[in-house]
Structure 1
């Protein structure tokens, strides 16, 4: 098995260069991890390793405008474009992978597997996202991402302080070098890695589909109608998917399995990777072997 991630690139929608990592045997069934807005493929490191150790091929993707993938030259950050990029990644993998999508990645999973290419996935995991998310939680995330987006930071300590204020339940890291994967250095300052157009509402084609709850519900219905197993993993302290929002989603789609991760907020895999990985592996063993 490949211990060190193998990095590969593909050409996404409109020729945008998309960067991904692979752990494990490229001939084995794939579990494809899709990060949330403002994150990178590195956010899945421990979960991807746990999945690869169990014999799967774990693939982590940097969305357009994030991490090491290209920023869209024409400001195309529609959900259908994120989903289309993922479809291009899947052309290089064994058929019918499992899709694991957090937040933005979950929305992309819904549209890809439920609208653009029904039947493309053998199973789907939504990580702290439902079509009818709590807008106040979404606003809090947006405000965090927008703050200091233009001015940047003078040091990694400043970055760590801001993250600690946003996520007080997560211990402040003692080794700050890990933060470098979420930043870009310009001159003597650090800036978030994402394209400011993505979060500042100045993109020519923004991800407006996130507000079309009916469309996203229809996509989920199509996925489940194709007998594709689905798991919703919620962070118990999430302000994006409240217990009420999760209950409403599960009442609408009772065939969806549900795991509530204690001690985790919206960033479930980062907050409690052990519990998150166990939940995903249990789901894979029962539904996707």
Structure 2
């Protein structure tokens, strides 16, 4: 989310970058359902960061725009596995990143570096490493804030289009309070099922239609089973980025950043039960960006899972309008 993330940090030169394939990678031509290749690279300040890449496997007469997927505050590349598999079958190359301190990326010993400007440098380093020049962005929550910041700092035409998944220039404090009350509080569970139960107890009003199997699937996106139990895959120090925020803390004015996107194709996804992106904010976004498309994800809150066929097809249709 936002908070202290807009504090300015000096630009640092990029370090040497490295690639390491995941267990799913292969040197052979990928089959239609090829899994992702995991890659690593170095941040400007020496952290080893990670991401996943899905090669386009679908038949297409012309190249389709690559899609860069950016997750939420405490989330990771697994949030995008379902939509990435769908999009690769439509002919898109898909890249998803783990920010520093999340997923398979190294934790930062200085928690103040869990900030949008520093993470933005990391994103730019990944794009340079992968030699990606023009792309669309699918940004969930914090990832959408990154998308807006990228629109401001990057050359015109480099970003083909933006998909904002349940985020906008006005963030509801009710949702921030909910996140602050949960992030970093319990990092370890007996097993994946125990984690799923805790998620269901805390988020059932956000996702009232999810089944027991869905909650188990969701838990699998957030953590991993280890010899010491089921562990959430992020640095609990992320909680400090939200700790000082309350109703009296003014949030940064993000509307100017949003203004830099109004000449770009945009799809806005909003969860029906979201406590982060309100209907009113969606309406104001639409008034400032009249060509933006708004799609409400029924039965879901913050942030939509991107599992359902309707939302996946809406995303693919939007991307189909963009020239590679």
User: TM-score scaled to structure 1, two decimals?
Assistant: 0.85
Q: Give the number of the structure whose residues are more often helix, by fraction.
A: 1
Selected match of 1:19 from 36, 39, 50: 50
Cα offsets for 1:187-206 (capped at 9, x unmatched): 63433211111123499xxx
Q: How does 1:80-91 map to 2 (within 5 A)?
A: 80-91=117-128
- Aligned CA RMSD, in angstroms, stands at 2.6
Q: Could you tell me which residue of structure 1 aligns to residue 273 of structure 2?
A: 237
Q: Could you tell me which residue of structure 2 aligns to residue 96 of structure 1?
A: 134
Return closer, same or farther for 1:172/1:147 CA change in 2, 3 Å cut-off. Answer: farther
Q: Could you tell me which residue of structure 1 aligns to residue 39 of structure 2?
A: 8
CA contact (8 A) 2:191 2:225 kept: no
How far, CA to CA, are the matches of 1:109 and 1:180 in structure 2? 26
Q: Could you tell me which residue of structure 1 aligns to residue 213 of structure 2?
A: 173
How far, CA to CA, are the matches of 1:49 and 1:281 in structure 2? 12
Cα offsets for 1:90-124 (capped at 9, x unmatched): 11143111111000111111112223665431111
Q: Which moved more, 1:52-61 or 1:192-201?
A: 192-201
List gaps (5 residues or longer) in structure 1.
Answer: 204-209
Higher Rg of the two aligned structures: 2
- How far has the Cα of 1:264 moved from its partner? 1.9
Selected match of 1:107 from 145, 148, 157: 145
How far, CA to CA, are the matches of 1:10 and 1:269 in structure 2? 27
Q: Secondary structure at the match of 1:14?
A: coil
Whether 2:320 is the aligned partner of 1:285: answer yes
Whether 2:309 is the aligned partner of 1:274: answer yes
Q: Secondary structure at the match of 2:35?
A: coil
CA contact (8 A) 2:196 2:218 kept: no
How far, CA to CA, are the matches of 2:239 and 2:226 in structure 1? 19
Whether 2:87 is the aligned partner of 1:51: answer yes
Q: Secondary structure at the match of 2:149?
A: helix
Q: Kindly report structure 1 stretches of 4+ aligned residues shifted beyond 6 Å.
A: none
Q: How does 1:1-289 map to 2 (within 5 A)?
A: 2=30, 3-25=34-56, 29-75=65-111, 76-91=113-128, 92-115=130-153, 119-149=157-187, 152-168=188-204, 169=208, 170-173=210-213, 176=216, 179-180=219-220, 182-183=222-223, 188-201=228-241, 211-213=251-253, 216-224=254-262, 227-270=263-306, 272-289=307-324
Q: Secondary structure at the match of 1:100?
A: strand
- How far has the Cα of 1:54 moved from its partner? 0.8
Q: Secondary structure at the match of 2:183?
A: helix
Cα offsets for 1:31-66 (capped at 9, x unmatched): 011111221101111101111111110111111111
* Number of aligned residues: 276
How far, CA to CA, are the matches of 2:175 and 2:323 in structure 1? 32
Return closer, same or farther for 1:93/1:276 CA change in 2, 3 Å cut-off. Answer: farther
- How far has the Cα of 1:17 moved from its partner? 1.8
How far, CA to CA, are the matches of 2:163 and 2:71 in structure 1? 12
CA contact (8 A) 2:135 2:158 kept: yes
Q: Which moved more, 1:24-33 or 1:51-60?
A: 24-33
